Amino acid sequence: MTTLSHTALGFLVAKLAVSRGWLPADTSTPYLLSMIFANLPDIDGLASLRKIYDHHNALKNLSHYPANWFIVFTLVAMVAFPFEIRLFYPYLALAGINVLLHFILDTFSIYNGIAWFGPWNTKKYSFIRMAPILPADTREWVHWYLKHWVVYLEIALWIVTLLVLL
């Protein structure tokens, strides 16, 4: 899935959290943080801007292993526990939910999927049949992507987000 889809889902998660009263409604902070958290696993994409479609491979995969994020969130929660920061845990939950949803969306990848059991098992899983070859460059990736039905799923997500926004 694309950055725009991850961002849209992050907005929807924040909207739900704010409407339920889990996060404050008087600022845009929950929305901004939720959209950032929703894209956090793609931080490795900055290391591969020329081949952004290939950012799940090799050592860059560390941010695409769900177990690594579980460890990070657990350690952050343990370190923050003694400080009793009032809104810390709702925002940590927001981060965890967004990262998990990021992985679920990325499981709809047409090229790789996600190594759900990484780093121990690097077999990648995808909900859909993957494209037969990896693209040579980002332009080719866009060409393949626009011809795949997943693009309609993303457009539907964008439309829902726009309707909720309006």
Tell me: the pLDDT tens digits for 105-133?
Answer: 988 877 677 889 888 888 888 887 666 66
* Pair of tokens at residue 69: 């994020």
- Which tens digit of pLDDT belongs to each residue from 28-61? 999 999 999 999 998 877 766 555 555 555 555 6
* Pair of tokens at residue 32: 């901004």
Global pTM?
0.85
Q: What angle do CA 36, 37, 43 make, to 5 degrees?
A: 75
What mean pLDDT, rounded, does the chain reach?
84
Residue 36 to residue 65: CA distance in whole angstroms? 18
Provide the β-strand partners of residue 125: 114
- The boundaries of the domain holding residue 106 are 3-165
Please identify which residue in the block is written with the tokens 């996060």.
23
Domain count, the chain: 1
* Pair of tokens at residue 122: 């690097």
Segment 90-116 shows an average pLDDT of 89
